Amino acid sequence: CRDIIVVGAGQAGFQAAASLREAGFDGLLTIVGDEPVAPYQRPPLSKAYLAGKATAGTLALRPASFYADHRITLRLGERAALIDRPIQQLELKSGERLGYDHLILATGARNRSLPVPGADLAGVLQLRTLADAEDVQRYLAGVESVVVVGAGFIGLEFASVAAARGIAVTVVEFADRVMSRAVSRPTSAFFRDAHEAAGIRFAFGVGVGRITGADGHVTAVETTDGRAFAADLVLVGIGVVPNVELAAEAGLTVADGILVDQALLTSDPSISAIGDCATFPNSFAGNAPTRIESVQNAVDQARCVAARLAGRAAFYAALPWFWSDQGGWKLQIAGLANPHDLTVTRGDPAQGAFSIFCYRHDRLVGVESVNRPADHMIARRLIAERLPLVPDQAADLALDLRALIR
Ligand code: FAD
């Protein structure tokens, strides 16, 4: 394999290129990315960046010199438009064609838009890219009240940054609790209480009916139960849609994300897919087709593909883990906790430091830790290596969990 092209200059695309060079790949290596900037970290966009503790410069995954030093050609601000599979060429929007021996699709995901009247008013914003974050930052400066649509990770991270700036924040959520897709009820309850104590107001079990405005700018959000919440800024955080169109139009199999096998190969053996755009058989979900949106997944899948292309065949089997910073709380999740049928608490939520151990059919499947980073690191090993830990042991603070992983 001589020429490798990566489509998407995000976390996964960057890592694939970096790991290929680390693994000794010596051929031509090109990353095509439609954003105008070199690969950067997204997680701080809703955390440190908005809180004024990070800048565009500090978000870069590597300095510009890295790409030159590693002979990685960055084609930024360029969009891949078509894959001509029979002759193994990638066509850019400009019409230029690049030949490949192997193509890595790392096209990520885009924000789901809110299909209601008024969603196009100025001040209705989303958060995915650095450009989005710059917009939000600019708007935040003069804002008194904010409505966040969606109580997922990004919505809550943004809500806590806004509340800390003295802005009145209301979070509108369709489900009956925060982060319902990702975490257990006890963890949801803890974060709801913590955010309410910080002054954030919640409206659960309702959707957005419409967004109203004056002079083209948002002024309020009307919920489906007839209430209206004042807003100078609306942050929509209702999930993402994987960028699969390029793959689908090339005839690759798509099921939610771009479908890959255990080696992260698509239905074409010359094309891999990784990161937010890929649906893979997940060994921690009984090999069910799974799409995961996280830095861990993007990085580990990139490394797996790089190892394969460098001649060390590997199946993807890394344990999923996640984190989210909300206010002073660091939430870390090991494994895929949902669904589960039993939860056990270790530590004391009232003290602000605890872990929730989630079991499915007597097996530990996920651990959610709040301000207990050591539990998180141990939990990763326990779940990944399927080490035994019965619920009574998980709750017993006298038991040193480290002893179980030695
Ligand atoms: P992306 O980072 O989305 O990169 C894909 C890139 O491909 C994009 O630049 C896209 O524009 C480009 N692209 C798409 N199609 C084309 C095309 N046809 N041609 C050229 N380029 C194309 N994860 C965590 O684990 N912890 C966190 O705390 C966390 N916080 C987050 C906070 C925010 C605000 C956001 C937005 C995400 C957060 N995530 C977090 C998720 C994490 O950032 C993503 O899972 C990760 O970035 C996925 O990497 P990726 O490379 O697969 O996709």
Domain identity same for 200 and 87 = no
The residue out of 238, 256, 279 marking a domain boundary is 238
Diameter over CA atoms, the chain: 65
Q: How far is the CA of 387 from the centre of ligand 1 (A)?
A: 32
**For residues 171 and 229, what is the distance between their CA atoms, to the nearest angstrom?**
10
Instruction: Identify whether 393 is part of a domain.
Output: yes
The residue out of 281, 309, 337 marking a domain boundary is 309
**For residues 104 and 97, what is the distance between their CA atoms, to the nearest angstrom?**
16
Cβ of 70: how many Cβ atoms within 10 Å?
14
Q: How far is the CA of 274 from the centre of ligand 1 (A)?
A: 11
Instruction: Identify whether 319 is part of a domain.
Output: no
Domain identity same for 250 and 302 = yes
**For residues 369 and 358, what is the distance between their CA atoms, to the nearest angstrom?**
11
Name the token pair of 208.
């957005």
ipTM above 0.85, yes or no: yes
Tens-digit pLDDT profile for residues 284-333: 999 999 999 999 999 999 999 999 999 998 899 999 999 999 999 999 99
Tens-digit pLDDT profile for residues 161-217: 999 999 999 999 999 999 999 999 999 999 999 999 999 999 999 999 999 999 999
Tens-digit pLDDT profile for residues 43-92: 999 999 998 999 999 999 999 999 999 999 999 999 999 999 999 999 99
For ligand 1, say whether the CB of 34 is within 6 Å of any of its atoms: yes
Domain identity same for 106 and 117 = no
Burial class (CB in 10 A: 0-12, 13-18, 19+), 356: buried
Q: How far is the CA of 108 from the centre of ligand 1 (A)?
A: 5
Domain identity same for 247 and 265 = yes
Domain identity same for 234 and 132 = yes
pLDDT band, residue 406 (cuts 50/70/90): confident
Question: The dihedral of CA 267, 269, 271, 276: what is its sign?
Answer: positive
Domain span at residue 340 reads 328-405
For ligand 1, say whether the CB of 258 is within 6 Å of any of its atoms: no
Domain identity same for 221 and 247 = no
For ligand 1, say whether the CB of 204 is within 6 Å of any of its atoms: no
Average pLDDT of span 124-136: 97
For ligand 1, say whether the CB of 79 is within 6 Å of any of its atoms: yes
In 224-318, DSSP assigns E strands to 228-230, 233-236, 240-242, 254-255, 257-259, 271-273, 278-282, 288-290
Average pLDDT of span 235-262: 97
For ligand 1, say whether the CB of 281 is within 6 Å of any of its atoms: no
Share of the chain above pLDDT 90, in %: 96
Buried b (16+ CB within 10 A) or exposed e, 46-61: bbbbbbeebeeeebbe
For ligand 1, say whether the CB of 234 is within 6 Å of any of its atoms: no
The residue out of 194, 219, 238 marking a domain boundary is 238
| pLDDT reported for residue 382 | 96
Instruction: Identify whether 354 is part of a domain.
Output: yes
Q: Judging by DSSP bridges, how do beta strands 217-223 and 208-214 pair with one another?
A: antiparallel
Give the CATH number of the domain where residue 264 resides.
3.50.50.60
In 137-186, DSSP assigns E strands to 145-149, 168-173
* Closest-lying ligand 1 atom to the alpha carbon of residue 8: 7
For ligand 1, say whether the CB of 33 is within 6 Å of any of its atoms: yes
Share of the chain above pLDDT 70, in %: 100
